[in-house]
Chains A and B, each alone.
With several copies, the nearest count.
Chain A
Amino acid sequence: MLDATLGGSTPITVDSIQSSYTAQVKRRRLYGGLTLLIFVLLMVSGFNVADDRNAGGFWDGLHQIGDYPADVLSEAWEKRAELPGLVAKYFPALVETINIAAVSTLIGALGGLFLSLLGTRGLAKWPRLIPLFRRISDIMRAVPEIVIALMLIFVMGGGPVPAMIAIAIHTAGALGKMFSEVAENADLKPVEGLASTGATWSQRMLLGVLPQVAPNYVSYSLLRFEVNIRASAILGFVGAGGLGYELRNAMAWGPGRFDEAAAIFILLFGTIVFFDQISSHYRNRLTEGQGQ
Chain B
Amino acid sequence: MLHIEKLTKRFGDKIAVDAANISVGQPTMIGIIGRSGAGKSTLLRMLNRLSDASEGTIQFEGEDITSLRGAAMRDWQSRCAMIFQQFNLVPRMDVVSNVLHGTLNKRSTLATMFNLFPQSDIHKAIEILDRLGIAEQAPKRAEALSGGQQQRVAIARALMQDPKIILADEPIASLDPMNAQVVMQSLRTIHEEDGRMVIANLHTLDTARRYCDRVIGMRDGRIVFDGTPEQLTTGVARDIYGAGADFSEAATSTEIETLDRQKVIA
Enumerate chain A interface residues (CB-CB to B < 8 A).
1-9, 13-14, 17-18, 20-22, 24-25, 29, 187, 189-190, 192-200, 202-203, 206-208, 211-212
Contacts and interface: CB of A to CB of B under 8 A. Distances in A.
Contacts of A13: 130, 135
A135 to B, nearest CB: 27
B89 A193 contact: yes
Contacts of B50: 192, 195-196
B154 A193 contact: yes
Contacts of A190: 88-91
Given A193-B89, A197-B105, A199-B74, A6 B132 contact: yes
B23 interface: no
Given A9-B133, A192-B88, A199-B105, 20 more contacts: A8-B130, A17-B138, A18-B123, A18-B126, A20-B139, A25-B122, A189-B87, A192-B50, A192-B84, A193-B82, A193-B88, A196-B50, A197-B82, A198-B104, A198-B105, A203-B107, A203-B109, A207-B90, A207-B104, A211-B92
A29 B132 CA distance: 27
Nearest to B111: A203
20 contacts: A1-B146, A4-B182, A6-B131, A8-B131, A29-B116, A190-B90, A193-B84, A193-B154, A196-B48, A197-B105, A197-B157, A198-B76, A198-B78, A198-B161, A199-B105, A203-B107, A207-B93, A207-B104, A211-B90, A211-B93
B90 A208 contact: yes
A3 B131 CA distance: 11
A14 B139 CA distance: 13
Interface stretch (B12-20, B30-38, B185-193, B208-216): B185-193
A24 B139 contact: yes
Nearest to A204: B104
Given A193-B88, A197-B101, A198-B76, A6 B123 contact: no
A194 B101 contact: yes
B186 A6 contact: yes
A18 to B, nearest CB: 5
Contacts of B138: 17, 21
B96 A198 contact: no
B230 interface: no
A6 B193 CA distance: 10
The size bracket of the interface on B is 35 or more
B133 A6 contact: yes
B122 A14 contact: no
B233 interface: no
B81 interface: yes
Contact of A22 (B78, B92, B119): B119
Contacts of A20: 139
B75 interface: yes
A21 B90 contact: no
B178 interface: yes
Interface of B: 48, 50, 73-78, 81-82, 84, 86-93, 96-97, 101-102, 104-105, 107, 109, 112-113, 115-116, 119, 122-123, 126-127, 130-139, 146, 148-149, 154, 157, 161, 178-179, 181-182, 185-186, 189-190, 193
Contacts of B101: 193-194, 197, 199, 207
Nearest to B145: A1
A21 B133 contact: no
Given A194-B101, A196-B82, A206 B112 contact: yes
**Which of A187, A196, A197 gathers the greatest number of chain B CB atoms within 10 Å?**
A196
Given A1-B149, A22-B119, A192-B50, A200 B74 contact: yes
A9 B130 contact: yes
- Give the 7 A-B CB pairs with smallest separation, nearest first: A193-B88, A198-B77, A198-B105, A198-B78, A196-B82, A198-B74, A199-B104
A212 B181 CA distance: 31
A4 B88 contact: no
Nearest to A194: B101
**Which of B115, B122, B133 gathers the greatest number of chain A CB atoms within 10 Å?**
B133
Contacts of B130: 8-9, 13-14, 17
A21 B139 CA distance: 6
A9 B181 CA distance: 20
Contacts of A206: 109, 112-113
